[in-house]
Amino acid sequence: MGEGCKVIPTSYKQNVEVFTISSANFNTIKDTIKEKEKTDDKKQESESEGCFAKMNNFIQRQLGSTKILVHILICIFAIASWADLNGMWAELPLLVMKVKEGWNLPSYIIIISQVANIGPLIFVVVSFLRPQLKPRLEKITSFVIILISMVASFLTAFFWEQSSYIGGVEHSVALLTLNFFLALGDCTSSVSFYAFMSHMKPEYMASLFIGEGLSGMLPALIALGQGAGQINCINSSSQVNETLPDGTSFIKTVYNVFPQYVEPSFSVRVFFIILSGIIALSAVAFLLLNFWSYCKSEMVVTPLDEKYKVPPSSGANGADYGSMDTSKLVSDAEKSLLKGQDGPYTAEQSSVDETNRELVNGHNHSPALLDVNQSNRGSQLIKSEQGSSSSLTLSDLHTHSELSSLSYASLLGIIIIINMTVTAFLPSIQIYTVLPYGLEYYHLTTTLTQIANPVSCFFALFLMAENIGIILVMTALGEVCVGYLIYVASTSPEPPLHDVTTGGELALALWIVLTALLTYSKVCCASVLRKQGRNALIFAGAATQTGALIGAIVGFVLVNEYHLFADAPFC
């Protein structure tokens, strides 16, 4: 062959042939690609639906037999616990610029709030002197204090600037008086709300604490959107005359940085009106929990004697409260067996193996009375008003043992310590622990700790630690963080690592960690005590207020009397 002729490689010929064929069938291939894309899209949608279904199944598994809507209503109801007083603290930067007390206002709020502890004290005394008043006592008290908080918040919106003379000194009498009623309702909620939760299934306890966390988070977020407490650092310069020792004078330029409060997006009046509206929603949620049959089905009967009236069935499946489903009836029977009037029990403990259960024939049953024979825990007799009866085998029923005195005291002690540090003392020195590292760290700390509180409560909804040893370890770790932050506050305005960014990041991280750990520990303590009955929850509420009282007094004395902590400049 000549030099101009070249042999075409076989592979090249194949490629040409493939290209020729592909060109001829281009439309067919295009349709095939479109079909494949549609198939892939359907596959992705199917996978997404599968993930959603798995997530939904996981949530349902964790929540057990409880109802998501009831969890939500309990959260909304619990927001009323501290929303108004937390709102007062969130508005503090705007209030102090107008009220006569100025920056002494926080001291007045602390003292008045402690006087308001007369509310929970009265509730506890009445609870033990007149036990027959339950559950009406906690229900009526809870609703009344929600109304008081709502009305007081609304009145604060219009009268917070009003002042009067007392002993020749002008004071914000209206604001301080309304602050007492706000604190009265909030302090009393620590015992009355807890007592009310003793009539709900134990699984709902975490939802109460989620709502309590939101009672701090929501006012903080509203105040953040309002711009309350937001500061800009303004650079300025001025010229001053300086004179040297020899009499020579000259003009010197001095540079300064000073803080300037940002003008809020809306007024203090609007803020408290919004707050009263949120508390009104809590009142609606509380009414639904008590009067809506959908929610009432999640309540448990607190034993007063050996007989329980079971309302008629309202659901076709027999799963709702009042149905003749054996698990519900056994639950009521088991309650009186465990500890009498304040017996420890859980929803899980009231379930019975299906193989050992004889279902009651529930055709057209009238309201039945469950008669508990306490001498025989292996078999209970369900007697209806029509005379029919069936025996229930409880051989596989595992009851929750009663706490020892040491464990009981340990849990109450943990609650006191946590509330003493996190609820009262640390907030009084928070500014000394983070402001030396910069204004941005202070704002991040106040915001992120309010978020960490309900998030840790939400985590407890799915994973509750009920081992006292684990609770003690988590509490100890949280208190170690507290100890470091107290040390940081004592060295303000030049704490450790104040000249590097690591110091601010460490302080911020410790605030978030201790808030999450100690909040989670508090929820776990309350969950364990919930299973010991109503009185245990009342003691938990009393321990909460006791810890807050001690922490507030210690913080007030150290900050305002002994002046152990030095301010750092905002800018």
Question: 251 phi and psi, to 5 degrees?
Answer: -100, 130
pLDDT category of residue 81 using cuts at 50, 70 and 90: very high
Q: How far apart (Å, rounded) are the C-alpha atoms in residues 446 and 511?
A: 9
Any idea which of 28-42, 145-159, 435-449 has the lowest mean pLDDT? Answer: 28-42
Q: How many Cβ atoms are within 10 Å of 302's Cβ, its own excluded?
A: 16
Q: Which residues contact 39 (CB under 8 A, 6 or more apart)?
A: none
Q: Is the pLDDT of residue 416 over 80?
A: yes
Pick the closest to residue 191 from 248, 128, 114, 138 (CA basis).
138
CA R_g for the chain: 32
Pick the closest to residue 418 from 508, 513, 515, 487 (CA basis).
515
Q: How far apart (Å, rounded) are the C-alpha atoms in residues 192 and 145?
A: 9
Q: Is the pLDDT of residue 91 over 80?
A: yes
Mean pLDDT of 80-104: 87
For 463, the token pair is 């994973």
First to last CA, the chain: 90
pLDDT category of residue 69 using cuts at 50, 70 and 90: very high
Q: Say what the pLDDT of residue 402 is.
A: 80
Residue 271 carries which DSSP code?
A: H
The residue among 340 and 286 whose pLDDT is bigger is: 286
Q: How far apart (Å, rounded) are the C-alpha atoms in residues 86 and 423?
A: 11
Q: Say what the pLDDT of residue 194 is.
A: 93
Q: What angle do CA 40, 45, 50 make, to 5 degrees?
A: 125
Q: Is the pLDDT of residue 571 over 50?
A: yes
Which three-class secondary structure state does DSSP give residue 259? strand
Q: Do residues 63 and 345 lie in contact, with contact meaning Cβ atoms separated by under 8 Å?
A: no
Q: Say what the pLDDT of residue 103 is.
A: 72
Say how far residue 395 (Cα) sits from the centre of its chain: 38
pTM over 0.75: no
Pick the closest to residue 114 from 567, 568, 548 (CA basis).
548
pLDDT category of residue 381 using cuts at 50, 70 and 90: very low
Which three-class secondary structure state does DSSP give residue 550? helix
Any idea which of 80-94, 353-367, 437-451, 481-495 has the lowest mean pLDDT? Answer: 353-367
Q: Which residues contact 262 (CB under 8 A, 6 or more apart)?
A: 227, 230, 231, 232
Pick the closest to residue 433 from 369, 480, 385, 503 (CA basis).
503
Q: Say what the pLDDT of residue 507 is.
A: 95
Residue 66 carries which DSSP code?
A: -
Q: How far apart (Å, rounded) are the C-alpha atoms in residues 457 and 78?
A: 13
Q: Pairing state of beta strands 389-393 and 368-371?
A: unpaired
Mean pLDDT of 525-550: 91
The residue among 202 and 571 whose pLDDT is bigger is: 202
Q: Say what the pLDDT of residue 357 is.
A: 39
Q: Is the pLDDT of residue 24 over 60?
A: no
Q: How far apart (Å, rounded) are the C-alpha atoms in residues 419 and 521?
A: 11
**What amino acid is encoded at 327 in this protein?**
S
The residue among 330 and 99 whose pLDDT is bigger is: 99
User: Distances from the Cα of 409 to the Cαs of 270, 477, 540, in angstroms?
Assistant: 45, 20, 10
Average pLDDT for the chain: 77
Residue 143 carries which DSSP code?
A: H
Q: How far apart (Å, rounded) are the C-alpha atoms in residues 242 and 249?
A: 6
Residue in the block written with tokens 């081992």? 467
Omega before 135 cis (within 30°)?
Answer: yes
Q: Say what the pLDDT of residue 134 is.
A: 80
Q: Do residues 416 and 546 lie in contact, with contact meaning Cβ atoms separated by under 8 Å?
A: yes
Which three-class secondary structure state does DSSP give residue 62? helix
Top-confidence range, 7-16, 106-115, 158-167: 158-167
User: Distances from the Cα of 526 to the Cαs of 53, 411, 561, in angstroms?
Assistant: 32, 8, 35
Mean pLDDT of 177-192: 94
Say how far residue 336 (Cα) sits from the centre of its chain: 31
Residue 305 carries which DSSP code?
A: S
Pick the closest to residue 341 from 543, 141, 131 (CA basis).
131
Omega before 454 cis (within 30°)?
Answer: no
User: Distances from the Cα of 390 to the Cαs of 52, 318, 362, 381, 528, in angstroms?
Assistant: 42, 17, 11, 6, 34
Mean pLDDT of 444-450: 88
Q: Say what the pLDDT of residue 118 is.
A: 93
Pick the closest to residue 333 from 372, 377, 381, 366 (CA basis).
372
Mean pLDDT of 461-468: 89
pLDDT category of residue 243 using cuts at 50, 70 and 90: confident
Which three-class secondary structure state does DSSP give residue 562? coil
Which three-class secondary structure state does DSSP give residue 372? coil
Pick the closest to residue 152 from 273, 292, 295, 9 (CA basis).
273
Mean pLDDT of 11-35: 57
With residue 27 as reference, give the H or E element that holds it.
helix 26-63
For 267, the token pair is 């007024």
Q: How far apart (Å, rounded) are the C-alpha atoms in residues 270 and 255?
A: 38
Which three-class secondary structure state does DSSP give residue 22? helix
Q: Say what the pLDDT of residue 51 is.
A: 67
